[in-house]
Structure 1
């Protein structure tokens, strides 16, 4: 089941026919992937992550203490920990590479299903969703598990 809920593919942001970055998301994080220029030493690259900024304004605030970046196999991988768990991002960078309406809807549905799977004892694996993602605590009619 978890494979079905994992990001199916990376979304690509293209500019003038060139890939700027790719990204995907889970309920808790947004991952960006940036292919680095060949022949440039990796020690020359760095990334500073701030709550709402990372060279450009982020689409939403992040937790800086649990966000990080690495370089592996010629690719910079940036993991941004969402401040609002479960919030669907249309892009990691404000105003750049926004998902088209269909892709945004599919992403919303995938994250909604992932969120409901966090409630043990309920099987939402065959559920069909439309609309916005409700808060499961409200949706469940105030049922508490504590």
Structure 2
């Protein structure tokens, strides 16, 4: 069984007051630190294709319109070790050029350096998918990688 690209090369997290979020070409993952001993009964998590809301122990952690569209029936959340909530959202647009600039519209934005690193990561992930025999997990790229990087599809093989 081969290891996924993001597991070999790590993630580029965007830190927030409650934890962090990060993305791959297919998913947006949200990790929320909650008080130790939190039970699932104390968590209210509503996941829609364009909206998300998380309330823990009666306190709203976040609520709003997502930066991009997700596949609603493929969204999940879990409570791990009674201290971490992990939310996984499947992107509707799974292209390398679909790099979210923030988790919610106008909230939890990636700073320019983190945004740059996220886009580089998605571009390398795209290269890995297009060239499955090569390992791009430790590669460095420079130049024009915004919007998913250069398009090599018209080159002759």
Taking structure 2 as the reference length, the TM-score comes to 0.73
Counterpart CA distance in 2 for 1:140 and 1:124 is 19
Q: Give 1:97's aligned residue.
A: 108
1:33 match: 31
Q: Structure 1 segments of 4 or more deviating over 2 A?
A: 1-6, 37-42, 120-131, 133-136
Structure 2, gaps ≥5 residues long: 54-63
Contact 1:109 1:130 in 2 (8 A): no
Equivalence map 1:1-146=2 (5 Å): 2=5, 3=7, 5-8=9-12, 10-13=13-16, 19-55=17-53, 56-73=64-81, 74-85=83-94, 86=96, 87-120=98-131, 123=134, 125=136, 126=139, 128-131=141-144, 132-134=146-148, 138-141=151-154
Cα gap change, 1:108 to 1:54, in 2 (>3 Å): same
Q: Which shows bigger deviation, 120-129 or 87-96?
A: 120-129
Deviation (angstroms), 1:121: 6.1
Q: Pairwise CA RMSD of aligned residues? A: 2.7
Q: By how many angstroms is 1:38 displaced?
A: 3.8
- Equivalent residue of 2:90, what SS? strand
User: What is the TM-score with the length of structure 1 in the denominator?
Assistant: 0.78
Structure 1 residue runs without a partner (length 5+) = 14-18
Separation in structure 1 between the aligned mates of residue 11 and residue 114 of structure 2, nearest angstrom:
12
SS of the equivalent of 1:83 reads: coil
Question: What is the distance in 2 between the residues matched to 1:62 and 1:107?
Answer: 18
| Aligned-pair CA distance for 1:77 | 0.5
